[in-house]
Amino acid sequence: MASDPPRLSVVLITRDEEPRIGATLDSVAFADERIVLDHGSRDRTCEIAAARGAQVHRTDVWPGFGPQKNRAVALATGDWILALDADEQVSPALAEEIRGAIRNPQADVYALPRLSRFCGRYMLHSGWWPDRVPRLFRCGKARYSDDQVHERLMFEGPLARLHAPLLHDTHRSIEHALQKMNRYTSLGAAEAWARGKRSGIVRAFIRAVWSFLRTYIFRRGFLDGREGLLLAIMVAENTLYKHAKLAERGGGGDTPPPDVRDR
């Protein structure tokens, strides 16, 4: 008697993703279940997800990206789990590869090549392609780190690769990029401080310059045109602000006003 085919669960964590959640869920309509774990959305994210047939769960407390993703994974009942972000879509070719991989697995964890779009352009250089991210894994064989931001999927054993792209619409506009930068640099600085890391303004500047050169020159961001230059600037700013915020945490507080009496 033939055994039942393996079941696939897709998990996402969300907050205010109304413009994108529908397309993301539609791209994984082939999955056996789709789980959305939402924290504090004030738009129609949850309503759209439910209308697409997803299981929608809500949490009131935000524990950080890593712990929240582990919460979402714990809700899954499938044999395999595909963890997505709300700004990602599975291409048709990747969907076919995923189905084949879980039917005839070569490993417990698979990395997907992520093709990211910055301000409307897919970036083929700048260190952004191929951005291989482990996202497909057998249930119980991986978990996310407890990091507040830049969480990592932790697992043991070999990692296999798929080849078709996971499409990533990471920054829709400069305004959107700046909003994300402020949030993520604050979270990154707080996490670095908790780990005992310290920084200073001079170090922040040097690291920012290096980040620009690495992205634009050494990783050939100049081949990505205008958006490549904008991305390199954004990467440098992200580095600068994260280290500046970390340095600010180690400051000595407000200084008294100088004596500027009119003589």
What is the pLDDT at residue 44? 98
Q: What is residue 169's three-state secondary structure?
A: strand
The domain boundary, picked from 118, 145, 170, lies at 170
pLDDT digits (tens, 9 = 90+) for 71-114: 999 999 999 999 999 999 999 999 999 999 999 999 999 999 99
Same domain, 164 and 42: yes
Task: Classify residue 19: in a domain, yes or no.
Answer: yes
Same domain, 154 and 187: no
Q: Is residue 145 within 8 Å of 83, Cβ to Cβ?
A: no
Task: Classify residue 213: in a domain, yes or no.
Answer: yes
How many separate domains does the chain show? Answer: 2
Task: Classify residue 263: in a domain, yes or no.
Answer: no
Same domain, 164 and 184: no
Q: pTM, whole model, 2 decimals?
A: 0.87
The domain boundary, picked from 129, 149, 170, lies at 170
Domain that holds residue 159: 8-170
Task: Classify residue 97: in a domain, yes or no.
Answer: yes
Give me the percent of the chain exceeding a pLDDT of 90.
Answer: 81
CATH of the domain at 16: 3.90.550.10
Cα–Cα dist 212/208, whole Å: 6
What is the pLDDT at residue 206? 96
Same domain, 57 and 187: no
pLDDT digits (tens, 9 = 90+) for 102-160: 999 999 999 999 999 999 999 999 999 999 999 999 999 999 999 888 899 999 999 99
Same domain, 160 and 232: no
The domain boundary, picked from 170, 196, 225, lies at 170
Cα–Cα dist 138/79, whole Å: 6
What is the pLDDT at residue 171? 84
What is the pLDDT at residue 104? 96
Please give the residue that has the higher pLDDT: either 41 or 176.
41
Q: What does the block give as tokens for 193?
A: 């401080």
Task: Classify residue 254: in a domain, yes or no.
Answer: no
